[in-house]
Amino acid sequence: MPPKPASGATPNVPRKIQPRKKQPVLLEERLKRLFASLCAQIEGGHFTNAVKTCNKSEWSLLRLHPADTDALQTKLFLLLQTEQYDTALSLIAETTSGDGPDYTFEEAYAMYRLHREEEAAAALGKIKGSVKDHRGVLHLEAQLNYRQGSYQTSLDLYNELLETAEPQSEEYSDILTNLTASQKHLDFINTAFLHALDALPSSIASTIETSPPPSVQPTVHLGSPSAFLTQQSLYDSAITNEVKEVRMKRVPKGVIPGVTPAPDPERWLKKSERSSFGSSGRKRRGAGGATQGVVLENTPAQGHSGKASGGGGSSHTKGKKKK
């Protein structure tokens, strides 16, 4: 038998290890980590994740430090890079104050991308009154004038930018491309259009010069029921007159739509059920009967001639000798 344990000894019971309490991370350390992650995301081109780092997550920069101008500037840059122009304008409206940073240039760029040219021009006018020799402002002003059709002003601005740009830089090549486009539009308006008119025959040129300008199509107001019915009838007629295009992927090889004859509509029926079944056989039987009738007419004549020849030679027939 095993020896009994001593009465004074305590059994070996495993002790529970209590987890150590994590010390809270200081605010400065959190901001440092978030800024490091943000820089890595921007350098890698992960702009959508960088926007989340700026604002959406629980540990975001703007929640930890809402008044951080660097974080606001970075988020605004990321919104413009991801083409969220309405959100960028909302952020500018929320953060713009008298003592805060000025985001008028970013506001003008967002309005330009949203095709709000008049508001973008007004914002650029404010910047030009306070800031001089701003290359970004000159670029945006040149693009805005090009879109509005002021090609001469756009050309002058691009020439000014080209003189101060480095020849081997990416900016230089972009300016040169935009300058060439402005020059081509300006040449077409000033000279190429007139040369094209001179190259036309005199009859066509005189017709173009004497013809009135195109009239504006009347707009139909759908306030009354008759106008609505007229619009509906026009829509229905357009639908009925629409030509259905043939999908070339479903056309068999070697078949040309509109040229190749259509297939037989009875090709799926049995031959005995087709309308053309038996017609060719009856024609053959009729032709054969006519041929047999001709043969029958010639047969008696041949027999008659044979009988006459036979009669002529009856004296030569053999018979029994008379005793």
Residue 80, judged by CB atoms within 10 A of its CB (0-12, 13-18, 19+), counts as middle
**Residue 311 vs residue 321, higher pLDDT:** 321
Q: What is the mean pLDDT of residues 278-286?
A: 56
Superfamily for the 27-101 domain: Tetratricopeptide repeat domain (1.25.40.10)
Q: Which of 26, 82, 24 is nearest to 51 (CA)?
A: 82
* Single-letter amino acid, residue 65: H
Please report, for the chain, the start and end positions of each structural domain, with discontinuous segments joined by +: 27-101, 117-204
Least confident of 20-34, 45-59, 186-200, 223-237: 223-237
Q: How many CA atoms are closer than 13 Å to the CA of 260, on its beta-carbon side? A: 9
Whether 249 has a pLDDT exceeding 50, the answer reads yes
pLDDT number for residue 27: 67
Is the whole-model pTM more than 0.75? no
Q: What is the mean pLDDT of residues 17-31?
A: 69
pLDDT number for residue 178: 94
Phi, psi of 169 (to 5 degrees): -90, 165
% pLDDT > 70, the chain: 60
| Residue 197 · residue 208 · CB < 8 Å | yes
Q: What is the mean pLDDT of residues 34-50?
A: 84
Q: How far apart are CA 275 and CA 90, in angstroms?
A: 77
Whether 26 has a pLDDT exceeding 60, the answer reads yes
Residue whose tokens read 């240039």: 105
Please tell me which of 158-167, 221-230, 256-265 the model is most confident about, judged by mean pLDDT. Answer: 158-167
Residues 175/179/181/182 CA torsion (nearest 10 deg): 140
| Residue 57 · residue 75 · CB < 8 Å | no
Confidence of residue 145 (pLDDT cuts 50, 70, 90): very high
Q: How far apart are CA 81 and CA 11, in angstroms?
A: 68
pLDDT number for residue 142: 95
**Which stretch of DSSP H or E encloses residue 277?**
none
Confidence of residue 300 (pLDDT cuts 50, 70, 90): very low
Q: How far apart are CA 139 and CA 174, in angstroms?
A: 10
pLDDT number for residue 10: 58
pLDDT number for residue 230: 52
pLDDT number for residue 202: 79
Q: What is the mean pLDDT of residues 233-242?
A: 52
**Tens digit of pLDDT for each residue in 99-118?**
667 889 999 999 999 999 99
